[in-house]
Chain A
Amino acid sequence: MTPPDAETADASRHDARFHATSYLRFLRLAFRLATEGSWLFYAWMFVLTCIALVGTHAWAVQVRDGMAVTAMTDHVSWGLYIANFTFIVGLAAGGVMMVIPAYIYHDRDMHDTVIIGELLAIASIVMCLLFVVVDLGRPDRFWHIMPFVGKFNWPISMLTWDVIVLNGYLLLNLHICGYLLYKRFLGETPDKRWYVPFVFLSIAWAISIHTVTAFLYCGLGGRPFWNTALLAPRFLTSAFVAGPAFIVVVLQIIRRMTKMKIGEGSIRTLVGIMRITILINLVMLVSEIFTSFYTGGSHGVSAKYLFFGHHGHGALVPWMWTSVTFSIIAAILLMRPKVHEHLWTLDIACVLGFAGIWIEKGMGLIIPGFIPSTLHEWVEYLPSATEWKITAGIWAGGLLIYTLLLKVAIPVFSGEANKLSN
């Protein structure tokens, strides 16, 4: 590494040819970093690849034989895929809870680790896009939804907004992460003008991806269960539980597995955020439940089905009570004043909070929107084996991408990579 004052001098002398060669070197290093590791790393990648393979094959069969291989019907026409999509959009947005303290409040610890949240956004958005693709009956016609070449029903269709915000968020994070990593690789100080505006844009954008995703559902007048103005705020709050919960666990794993310095401040801040959001989320859940049950009538019938079953139909009841229980336990654990000093307790709280919200936003929110159907028919839904396989495959693929991204980013940031490349 060259001394900092020399860096800026170097930077001004860089021309296109310099970048052409050094960017190739950067990619080569990234490739090398991403493909070398201990036996544990290879085992982890092997397992993820196998799961992704199973999912890929299941998807290919689903495309060939039709979506009749899923458990979805004309009554419950969205299932596990869209449930996961909704949840993971939240995961992507949740990363912003690291970005805000790092860039707006100049939290030093957070600043060192914020890249972990930004990379999570990249991996999550890729998973979101995959979940949308596997939910399509005709993935071969994907080009129809591309602006210019296809027919893009913007601005009427909320789904086109979602295409824009998700891809936009992906590009933003790719740019921010790519730029910072490349600069670190060159050993130069990143030019604030090239990333700070994008970081601020990404903060607003993170809110938008989850708001737009909520608008997908809450704009549908024919589905009373979704047709509530509280949906978008609920989505955001639960995202700010699930996102930080995931990152807290990842930070601890990174701390154990690599030499990266994870300051106590990062975890402390994230726990502080979760303490508030998990409670707000529960409050919102309670106020939804109150409105549904106190008013009664057909507007509350989905909620009744979800929590207590209806006329002998109760497939979602165990799911929902698991979710509520997990969320409450997680909230209680997080309330403990010294929870970040008892890491096991914190980990349990994070895992429970994460799982609780995965159920609440997935099986607990998407599915009951369809039950009863718009003609009040009672058709229930539990995912088929194919759906589980494809879902597991996409999660494995997402984790694989996230692992590879971290594998490159961590040594580059710690400066170890530079020793290698020189």
Chain B
Amino acid sequence: MTRGIGKIAFGGIVAFIGLYFVTALAWTWYSSEKRPDPDKPGQRIAEGPVPAPPHPVVIRQPDGKVMVDSGRRDARGEPVMVACATCHDTRPPEPSLHSSSELDEFHQGLTYAHGELSCLSCHNANDYDTLKLANGQAVDFSASMSLCAQCHGPQFRDYRNGSHGGMQGHWDLTRGGRTRNTCIDCHDPHHPAFPQVMPVFPPMPERGETLPHAHHE
């Protein structure tokens, strides 16, 4: 029997649309299964750099000799700095001293809050240009980390594991070096608790956001 060609054509269009969808789905399924093509950037993985000798990790050092502000100013208005030995060579040590307030001169403004330690726990009474480990061994100011590590073992361990203390540079030492902070970059040895700071860069309140201070306080 003859059905109109028009109907067949019409059915054809419907079938075509259906087929289009089915093929499209099949195609997307197929293309998602495709293996990577090395010529295309998305599939290309950069070859790792040729193993190179690792670059150094530099730990920042306290620079120069330790000096103390005398409180006086020179002709140009610069503070007059005095070496430790200038005074301490001639004065006897005071082992029981815990606070600068007990002093008559020098170290006047020094805030001191470091556990139960006294000055001579770390400063070397025999040579004020060096520091002193618990066993009495003198160490240079630049090696203060070993002094801190005597008490702060877990922090020192974490530092060595890379999870304490800030750093700059490369995570991949085959590609570049790294600079690490030393203890006193962040902690003042006389009051080592990290100081409070004002936070920077507040997030902008969004449209539709009210800031109820009561919410948190």
Which A residues fall within an 8 A CB radius of B? 11-16, 18-20, 23, 71, 73-76, 147-148, 151-155, 160, 164, 168, 171, 175, 179, 191, 194, 311-313, 315, 377-382
Contact = CB atoms under 8 A, between A and B. Distances in A.
B7 interface: yes
B2 A12 contact: yes
Contacts of B4: 11-12, 14-16, 18-19
Contacts of A175: 14
Contacts, number: 86
Contacts of B209: 73, 75, 377-380
B6 A15 contact: yes
Contacts of A147: 20-21, 24-25, 27-28
B208 A379 contact: yes
Contacts of B28: 147, 151-154, 160
B206 A75 contact: yes
A108 to B, nearest CB: 27
24 contacts: A12-B1, A12-B4, A14-B4, A14-B6, A14-B7, A16-B5, A16-B6, A19-B5, A73-B206, A73-B207, A75-B209, A147-B21, A152-B25, A153-B28, A154-B28, A154-B29, A171-B17, A191-B7, A194-B10, A194-B11, A311-B212, A311-B215, A377-B209, A381-B208
A71 B7 contact: no
Nearest to A381: B208
List of 3 A-B pairs having minimum Cβ-Cβ separation, nearest first: A147-B24, A19-B6, A14-B4
A164 B9 CA distance: 24
Contacts of B210: 312-313, 378, 380
Given A13-B2, A164-B21, 8 more contacts: A12-B2, A15-B6, A19-B9, A147-B20, A147-B21, A168-B21, A311-B212, A313-B210
A403 B18 CA distance: 29
B44 interface: no
A145 to B, nearest CB: 11
B3 to A, nearest CB: 7
Contacts of B17: 171
A238 to B, nearest CB: 26
A16 B9 contact: yes
Nearest to B209: A379
A169 to B, nearest CB: 12
Interface string B178-217: 0000000000000000000000000000111110101100
A36 B201 CA distance: 63
Contacts of A380: 208-210
Q: Which of B2, B7, B208 counts the most chain A CB atoms within 10 A?
A: B208
B94 to A, nearest CB: 54
B9 to A, nearest CB: 6
A312 B212 contact: yes
Nearest to A182: B10
Nearest to B215: A311
Contacts of B27: 147-148
Contact of A155 (B5, B7, B29, B208): B29
B2 A18 contact: no
A20 B7 CA distance: 11
Interface string B1-44: 11111110111001001001100110111000000000000000
